[in-house]
């Protein structure tokens, strides 16, 4: 099964077929910022992709819009939009979207 590793949680999460990264994180009981309710209308659920970006599905229209506006960097994906059909991805929670009640590592 595809897996997502979040370095600064630390967590390794299985990503079921067809699931978004956010849905997989939530299914694994990880609290993850997503202010718009996982509709691709904000950038609070973003993930800094450290490795494995090529294993993710192509950028969605929402992600392309945020990249064009400078609100989503080339090495970032929205967890509510990105899916992982196979392989592994390693990422980090950006400083700006860390939740105050979650313990993060450096």
Residue-wise pLDDT tens digits, 74-95: 999 999 999 999 999 999 999 9
Measured in whole angstroms, the distance separating CA 24 from the mean position of its chain's CA atoms is 10
Average pLDDT estimate for 27-44: 93
Q: Which domains does the chain have, with CATH numbers?
A: 3-97 (3.10.20.30)
CA-closest candidate to residue 24, choices 12, 34, 14: 14
For residue 92, the cross-strand partners are 48
Cβ 105 vs Cβ 89: under 8 Å:
no
Q: Report the share of the chain in percent with pLDDT over 90.
A: 92
Average pLDDT estimate for 22-43: 94
CB atoms within 10 A of CB 62: 18
* Alpha-carbon distances of 68 from 39, 61, 72, 76, rounded to whole Å: 18, 11, 8, 13
């Amino acid at each position: 099964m595809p897996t997502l590793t979040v370095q600064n949680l630390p967590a390794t999460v299985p990503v079921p077929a067809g699931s978004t990264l956010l849905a997989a994180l939530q299914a694994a009981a990880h609290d993850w910022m997503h202010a718009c309710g996982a509709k691709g209308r904000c950038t609070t659920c973003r993930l800094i992709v450290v490795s494995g970006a090529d294993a993710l599905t192509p950028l969605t229209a929402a992600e392309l819009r945020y990249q064009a506006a400078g609100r989503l960097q080339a090495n970032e994906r929205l967890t509510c939009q990105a899916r992982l059909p196979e392989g592994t991805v390693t990422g980090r929670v950006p400083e700006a979207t860390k939740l105050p009640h979650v313990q993060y590592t450096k």
